[in-house]
Structure 1
Amino acid sequence: MRTSIHFFFLILLAIASSCSQSRTVKGRVTSAENGKLINRAEIQFEGSIVKSHTNKRGVFFIKATDSARKLTIKAKGYEPKELIIGNDSVVDVALVPEGYVMYEIAMPVKDSKVREEDQCKLKVASRTMVIAYDRHAENINTEDYSPIAENGFRLTSRNALSTFSIDVDNASYSNIRRFINTGQIPPVDAVRIEEMINYFNYDYGQPKGKDPVVIHTDVAECPWNPVHKLARIGIQTKNISAENLPPSNLVFLIDVSGSMEAANKLPLVVSAFKLLINQMRSQDKVSIVVYAGASGTVLNGVSGTEKMKISDALTQLKAGGSTAGGEGIQLAYKVARQNYIKGGNNRVILATDGDFNVGVSSDGELVSLIEEERKDNVFLSVLGFGMGNYKDNKLELLANKGNGNYAYIDGFSEARKVFVNEFGGTLFTLAKDVKLQVEFNPAVVKSYRLIGYENRLLNDEDFNNDKIDAGEIGSGQTVTALYEVIPVGVKSPLLPDIDSLKYQKNQNKASLNTTDLLTVKLRYKEPTGNEGKLMTNVLLDKNIPFTNASADFRFAASVAEFGMLLRSSPYKKGANYDHLISLASKSLNNDSEGYKSEFLKLVRSAKSLSTNNWISVIGEK
């Protein structure tokens, strides 16, 4: 009898051993940067001499024992990755290019069926997506952009004043880059020329007085219409070193709804915020609020030194459910007030695709909510992610009303630009409610046109009204505005066709100063102040050939020209891609980060798309 029992247990042991030894792990290896399938990647379990390689579809199979837990994946040109797979039988792995760091997020996938090719049936079929990219999302286009009617020329005799709010947002540039890099010309209303220009920094020189900002002006021949002039107004803030920045109370408000599941959404959000965590100090506080069908607090007021705790909390986030954005915003402001730092940088950073569909979601309701909350001097910055259902119009509006800035993150490099290279400017406001009012001299300027800033225009009387909200500018940031000017005596078909006034007296031009082209007035408040301060700058009329303008000036003009071509602007005159490429290629000075060189490549790609009529606009079939 005892012999029979022993024999029975030996049979069970053999069966268990057989099943254990026949376990197969299946996976796919892709690039975290662009989702490209990686061929010939090497896969090996720790402690095993057995190796496997991916095929042309990026797929691999490898045998595993029960003790096998750590999988190592290597591929030429990519950082190696170690992955603890537990009892998972199917894994998807995303590798990042050499020299980069990408943090991952694990999430369940609806399609979790595992195909078994042996007789051993797993009790639980699971699948872990390290980066889950929904390839079908690109084919469903519900992106929204606010309509833009380009500024036209205005007669100086009728409208000598031009008043607008400054804008440091640059979301439009990275968004149109996404379109062009995926073989599409962007929708016209996605092209905001001022945000394209302000994506780049310019060498204006630091403020020397007590004011945190300084005004720079210059003028030259207009490159796309040489009988006109191009006037440039540049604003530069003081560049404050990181160690001297005030303490921060940051609330990461993260959309974890179902629409954020793709690799270029929630996983990229996590990677971006982990870059920001590395910049945190002991005097800083970090909170995490998430929202989907409902909202909740993940972390509340954690010290900036607890980087691992914050990182782990981010890594555990999962996407799913509907989007109660308004409720999340309310909770985030509540958490920010709980951890408020007097004299510090108190800010909510919203990361989303903007697809709000539950609770407070209409533009009017959200704006009212944001305007009420900003009274507590808690600013709102907005980071946009993803494609297909991206709501640019909503996110731009929230950032404008929340006293913050707006960026679109189209990849890990852009996240690094926002949170590492431009850390101070992104998060630390030096001046708020910044307005510009430009007065043109009718003795010199027949007509003028502000290039861009269409959704930032203000009434002239708003300039001196400190109750009127305007834009914010951070540490070390620059703002550039360009005016195309038609000088007195120049005939142009672009001049407004307006009848002469019957009851107005002719202005005595002899009494006007003929050396001034324009006067710039700037009004701003301190970050927690309520009273505006005034600065002025006068630009003299000069006849400078465009080729003699500074490289910075020429480059800003080339970006404006690109924007006009993308918009098919009625004011582009002699602008064309060959002219633009020649202009930009001679203006790439001070390009340590390579952003200007990348711009030139983008222009060449856009030219190719336009030349071949290979144009795909959002919503078109």
Structure 2
Amino acid sequence: MKSLKLISSAITMLICFVTFAQERTITGIVSDDNRQPLPGAYIVNQNTKKSAQTNFDGQYSIQAQKGDVLIFSYIGFDSQRQKVENSNTINVKLIAAQQTLNEVVVVGYGRSDSEYEDNSYSRPQRSERKKAKAAKAEMVQGYVAGVQVQNSMQYVAAPSAITIRGNQSISAKNEPLYVVDGVPIKSQQFAKINPNDIQDVKVLKDKDATSIYGSRAANGVVILSTKNDLYKNLTEKEIDKKLNMIVPAQPEVNNEDYDGFVENAFESPKGAPLSTFSIDVDNASYTNIRRFINNGQAVPKNAVRVEEMVNFFKYTYPQPKDQNPFSINTELSESPWNPENRILRIGLQGKNIPTENLPASNLVFLIDVSGSMSDPNKLPLLKQSMKILVNELRSKDKVAIVVYAGAAGLVLPPTSGDEKQTIIAALDNLNAGGSTAGGAGIELAYKIAAENFIKDGNNRVVLATDGDFNVGSTSNTDMETLIEQKRKTGVFLTCLGYGMGNYKDSKMETLADKGNGNYAYIDNIQEANRFLSKEFKGSMFAIAKDVKIQIEFNPKQIQAYRLIGYENRKLRAEDFKNDAIDAGELGSNHTVTALYEIIPAGVKSDYLNNQPDALKYTKVENDSNVYSNELATIKFRYKKPDGDKSIEMVNVIENKAASLQNSSEDFKFSTAVAWFGLKLRDSKLITNKSSEDILKLAKQGAANDSEGYKAEFIRLVEGVKQL
């Protein structure tokens, strides 16, 4: 009997092993009918429920075995099913959906209560109505397994967050489609419906939802029927109007934090002959601005840092040809917003080091898992982002994971980069909850990084958070002091910002600026792909640190100058040769661009009123033959990533200006981006704020746009015109 049991167990194990061995990796590309890749398309294995999303190039990878059915879906496109046969490659072309939800009929009944939120109710009565509203959302739980509801009681009209487990969205929120009396509505409208009017609630998911409502139902459908057909045959706008009569719209809470700053003014080279600043490779401001515009919101003035907008884009500067880690490039042309002025463009191109020649990495992921990170566009997006970074790691790289909430802890000790499944499993197990001990997390992350320090390697903490530190060291001054101490360890810092509503840009920027670091705002999975995959080498591997620029302008050629942007990166003249002063880092194949606006000598300008009299003791000898063709002398200082002493480079800029029409395409595009940033900041130093003129210039410089980022910028400018 015992031998029969053993034989039976062995056969069972063999069958399981064979079945498991049949599972393999299926890869491919998802594109539209024009063969353009679809980033963020959703793929699910119908048999095992495993899922995947395409990257920026439309590529995907998923585990399946022969006979499994893969379902491909994307918002605005018809879903497609493909059966796994013998091939390990399945490329899919999705067709734009032709069917609209107006063709779907759902029977429902209902009525409205005009006193739903009448302030004449007593506080206990209003409390009971709030409970009823919460109960309405909770009714959805129980119809289908895996429905989760999070209630927001801060405002009466605040919608409950409903997600249907097993569905994954490419959008910021994993939110289902809401249908009331046959009409699709928004979650904000759903929140305003009187729960006493509800006749029936149904929930559909997976193929039951998409077969009826198409790709809009990829995250499930909540179907609500009212008792007296109150909303039947109404349009969405008519429903919205009717609901707003019941519950007035409440203002959206916004606790985002941005540091204020004053725009750089024009300066005279006679009174201030030297302009000194640190380079800035951050581009968080641009992606944050993009988020506001795409959401139809006004952009906060202090969220706009022009240099970060300009540096989001890559320009075609030549590679360095000497022993220095970057090349220096300058161009002088007309100012597009004031043709009598000139724009001086300074471009640095970091050396492109092949991936196989990059040093080994010692990375510590420092992940915020506090309660403020529970939103779908925070921790869930963060985990997907970090998986992209994990996929770039090599066997000689290692990564540890530190998390912080009420306290800080190590959840993954240093692990080899070829153990990707172990690292990804640790990320998948993270959940949000608790307060935010940011300072303790930083202390522990740097401790782990120091204990595993790789000499001549890439030692870096990757901090991912919404920046909402609310326990321990909270002020920007405290965080600045802490991070300045930690940078002395030789460990670099990368800050990744997530979320909205309570996003603390000021803290993130402070940490990156003071910690030998860089800073990116991840607003969607495509941005994560760009920063952590396509620009992995530039984002994660420094080739030069403490890079400073100092320009001496020739007063014979220039009346006044101003640095466009870099307000929080300016340095004193004496800081240039002080190796103790921190400055920005430059990554492999990174580009950095800086723009100066110049008022040439002899040009009358409204910006130069009330000029001081000539000074008696600082008068320059009037020799017209000395430096007559020189516009400026530019100096650079940098340190090697593991060095303590700066290396200096010097270039002379000749006074040769091209017309704007004859300037390079990169010049036109970079100045168009700066122009748009100045418009968003409502700059007092530009008079022409025409969106049409900005668009025209941007389109002239929109060549070399294989990734589509320049085209996206043009759409953003057009979007602001409509706001």
Whether TM exceeds 0.5 here: the answer is: yes
Structure 1 residues 433-462: Cα deviation after superposition (integer angstroms, max 9, x where no partner) = 000001101000010010000000000000
Unaligned runs of 5+ in 2: 1-41, 50-67, 84-141, 148-163, 175-199, 201-217, 221-248
Q: Please point out which of 397, 401, 405 is paired with 1:284.
A: 397
CA 1:45–1:412: 2 relative to 1, 3 Å: closer
CA 1:315–1:505: 2 relative to 1, 3 Å: closer
CA 1:79–1:395: 2 relative to 1, 3 Å: farther
CA contact (8 A) 1:324 1:361 kept: no
Structure 1 residues 566-605: Cα deviation after superposition (integer angstroms, max 9, x where no partner) = 0110112223101001111111111111111100001100
1:140 is matched with which residue? 253
- The structural deviation recorded for 1:363 is 1.6
SS in 2 for 1:172: helix
Structure 1 residues 221-249: Cα deviation after superposition (integer angstroms, max 9, x where no partner) = 11110000110111111011111110000
SS in 2 for 1:146: coil
- The structural deviation recorded for 1:543 is 3.2
Question: Which amino acid is the alignment partner of residue 400 of structure 1?
Answer: D
Structure 1 residues 18-74: Cα deviation after superposition (integer angstroms, max 9, x where no partner) = xxxxxxxxxxxxxxxxxxxxxxx99997599xxxxxxxxxxxxxxxxxxxxx99876
Question: Is the counterpart of residue 592 in structure 1 residue 665 in structure 2?
Answer: no
Structure 1 residues 498-532: Cα deviation after superposition (integer angstroms, max 9, x where no partner) = 32145335322325311011111000000010000
1:419 is matched with which residue? 532
Segment of structure 1 superposing worse, 286-295 or 359-368: 359-368
Segment of structure 1 superposing worse, 446-455 or 540-549: 540-549
2:345 is matched with which residue? 232
Question: Is the counterpart of residue 311 in structure 1 residue 424 in structure 2?
Answer: yes
CA contact (8 A) 1:276 1:420 kept: yes
1:602 is matched with which residue? 716
Question: Is the counterpart of residue 375 in structure 1 residue 488 in structure 2?
Answer: yes
In 1, Cα distance between equivalents of 2:80 and 2:351: 38
- Greater relative CO (CA pairs within 8 A, separation 6+): 1
CA contact (8 A) 1:138 1:388 kept: no
1:488 is matched with which residue? 601
CA contact (8 A) 2:146 2:166 kept: no
2:161 is matched with which residue? none
CA 1:81–1:504: 2 relative to 1, 3 Å: farther
Q: Please point out which of 281, 301, 306 is paired with 2:414.
A: 301
Q: Please point out which of 522, 531, 539 is paired with 1:409.
A: 522
CA contact (8 A) 2:69 2:81 kept: no
Q: Please point out which of 466, 471, 480 is paired with 2:584.
A: 471
Q: Please point out which of 571, 592, 596 is paired with 1:458.
A: 571
Question: Is the counterpart of residue 204 in structure 1 residue 317 in structure 2?
Answer: yes
CA contact (8 A) 1:419 1:426 kept: yes
In 2, Cα distance between equivalents of 1:210 and 1:455: 30
1:529 is matched with which residue? 643
In 1, Cα distance between equivalents of 2:310 and 2:489: 32
CA contact (8 A) 2:169 2:219 kept: no
CA contact (8 A) 2:539 2:587 kept: yes
Structure 1 residues 362-393: Cα deviation after superposition (integer angstroms, max 9, x where no partner) = 22221111111111100111000000000001
Matches of residues 202-601 of structure 1 in structure 2 within 5 Å? 202-495=315-608, 497-504=610-617, 506-511=619-624, 512-601=626-715
In 1, Cα distance between equivalents of 2:351 and 2:146: 55
In 1, Cα distance between equivalents of 2:281 and 2:251: 29
For the aligned residue pairs, the C-alpha RMSD in angstroms reads 3.0
TM-score by structure 2 length? 0.68
In 1, Cα distance between equivalents of 2:404 and 2:616: 61
Question: Which amino acid is the alignment partner of residue 653 of structure 2?
Answer: L
CA 1:304–1:216: 2 relative to 1, 3 Å: same
In 2, Cα distance between equivalents of 1:332 and 1:138: 39
TM-score by structure 1 length? 0.79
1:110 is matched with which residue? none
In 2, Cα distance between equivalents of 1:269 and 1:487: 48
Segment of structure 1 superposing worse, 232-241 or 490-499: 490-499
CA contact (8 A) 2:513 2:584 kept: yes
In 1, Cα distance between equivalents of 2:669 and 2:45: 50
CA contact (8 A) 1:435 1:523 kept: yes
In 2, Cα distance between equivalents of 1:71 and 1:360: 52
Question: Which amino acid is the alignment partner of residue 372 of structure 2?
Answer: S
Structure 1 residues 89-110: Cα deviation after superposition (integer angstroms, max 9, x where no partner) = 534344456xx9x99xxxxxxx
CA 1:46–1:301: 2 relative to 1, 3 Å: closer
SS in 1 for 2:704: coil
CA 1:131–1:448: 2 relative to 1, 3 Å: farther
CA contact (8 A) 1:403 1:432 kept: yes
Question: Is the counterpart of residue 167 in structure 1 residue 280 in structure 2?
Answer: yes
CA 1:275–1:500: 2 relative to 1, 3 Å: same
Question: Which amino acid is the alignment partner of residue 568 of structure 2?
Answer: N
Question: Which amino acid is the alignment partner of residue 539 of structure 1?
Answer: I
CA 1:490–1:273: 2 relative to 1, 3 Å: same
Q: Would you say how many aligned residue pairs link Structure 1 and Structure 2?
A: 517
Segment of structure 1 superposing worse, 483-492 or 533-542: 533-542
CA 1:73–1:259: 2 relative to 1, 3 Å: farther
Unaligned runs of 5+ in 1: 1-40, 49-69, 104-116, 118-129, 610-621
CA 1:150–1:80: 2 relative to 1, 3 Å: farther
Percent identity for Structure 1 against Structure 2:
52
Question: Is the counterpart of residue 154 in structure 1 residue 227 in structure 2?
Answer: no
SS in 2 for 1:405: strand
